[in-house]
Amino acid sequence: MIFMISPDLSFRKAGSFIKRSYLLQMSYKLEFFLRLFFAFFNILTYYFVAKLIGTSAAPYLKPYGGDYFSFVLIGIAFSTYLMVSLRSFSESIRDEQMMGTLEAMLVTPTDTTAVITLSALWSFIVASLRVFLYLLIGIFLGAKIANINVIGAGILLVLTVICFGSIGILSASFIMIFKRGDPINMLFMSTSELFGGVFFPVELFPGALQGISHLLPMTYSLNGMRHALLQGYSLGGLAPDILALIIFSLILLPLSLLIFRYAVVRVKEEGTLVQY
């Protein structure tokens, strides 16, 4: 996604942003490693919840392999991308505003969209590292991730990042104009975990509520990931979720960029670009 937005975005420039963020992050080493370390406890909590549930939830989990711990592990791991998307774009604007570096960046030929998008890149790298750790810890604790469709999971991951990233850019547009009180963030933060099937299958919902689940990209992302990682579905089997995510991407990406460009034009006219 990052490299489709603007011809201004090159891999080398992306590398410079990653290097800068890495150096800044490593200047706070303790915080970085503590965050990764405490991810372990999050997984451990659900490991014991899964032990408590035992096989009682098996009928609901049959389409996903029947094991609750494996089910919830995928949910927690890949919902990380949505949480990161919702935070990272708006936080990167806010951080640069507060540090005072935004103006110095925006007076260069690198356009505003590129600056904000690339500033969020490091968060996605850290999120990927965290997802990898979650899966690794999960496998160590007995999650049944063995029959993996790697290509299918890769496609789903890319589409997930595009969809969630687009929602993050929409959220950043609101932050840019209103500074605080972003409805996109609030809407997706509060609904996605519940209706997206992070902790339990959406099939548990009554019909009307399932309708809400089907409006969220999270539902298709997690459903597809579970089928790809826990049951090794073929690309044909994953097609409905992949297709749904493609449709979400085709709508959300151009829409979010359009709204973000409008936000940039507006704050430049108001002179509030660097205010927070």
CB of 272 to other proteins, least distance (A): 9
Considering only residues 99 through 118, tell me which ones interact with other proteins, judged by CB under 8 A. 99-101, 103-111, 115
Q: What is the amino acid identity at position 154?
A: G
Given candidates 4, 24, 136, 243, which one binds other proteins under the rule CB under 8 A? 24
Question: x/- string (CB under 8 A) for other proteins, residues 218-237?
Answer: --------------------
Closer residue to other proteins (CB): 16 or 147: 16
Is residue 118 within 8 Å of 17, Cβ to Cβ? yes
Of 96 and 241, nearer to other proteins (C-beta) is: 96
12 binds other proteins (CB under 8 A): yes
All residues at 6 or more sequence positions from 61 whose CB lies less than 8 Å from its CB, including other chains: 67, 68, 71, 201
Instruction: State the CB neighbour count (10 A cutoff) for residue 273.
Output: 18
Sign of torsion over alpha carbons 30, 28, 121, 194 = positive
Q: Are 132 and 74 spatial neighbours (Cβ–Cβ below 8 Å)?
A: no
**Minimum distance from CB of 166 to other proteins (Å)?**
24
Residues of this chain, 158-177, that bind other proteins according to CB under 8 A: none
Specify the stretch interacting with other proteins by CB under 8 A; choose among 56-64, 141-149, 208-216, 263-271: 263-271
Locate 143 and state its tokens: 């999650």
User: What's the rounded Cα separation, in Å, for the pair 62 and 110?
Assistant: 50
At closest approach, how far in Å is the CB of 128 from other proteins?
23
Please say which residue, 12 or 180, places its beta carbon nearer to other proteins. Answer: 12
What's the token pair of residue 119?
């500033």
For other proteins, give the closer residue by CB, 80 or 112: 112
> For residue 189, which amino acid is it?
M
Residue 263: CB atoms within 10 A of its CB come to 22
Within 8 A by CB and 6+ apart from 38, the residues are none
Which lies closer to other proteins via its Cβ, residue 95 or residue 193? 95
Minimum distance of other proteins from residue 20's CB (angstroms): 5
Pick between residue 21 and residue 85 the one whose CB is nearest to other proteins. Answer: 21
Is position 19 an interface residue for other proteins (rule: CB under 8 A)? yes
Check if the beta carbon of residue 239 is closer than 8 Å to that of residue 223: no
Q: What is the DSSP letter of 141?
A: T
- In the complex, the residues that contact other proteins under the rule CB under 8 A are 12-13, 16-17, 19-20, 23-24, 27, 99-101, 103-111, 115, 265, 268-271, 273-274
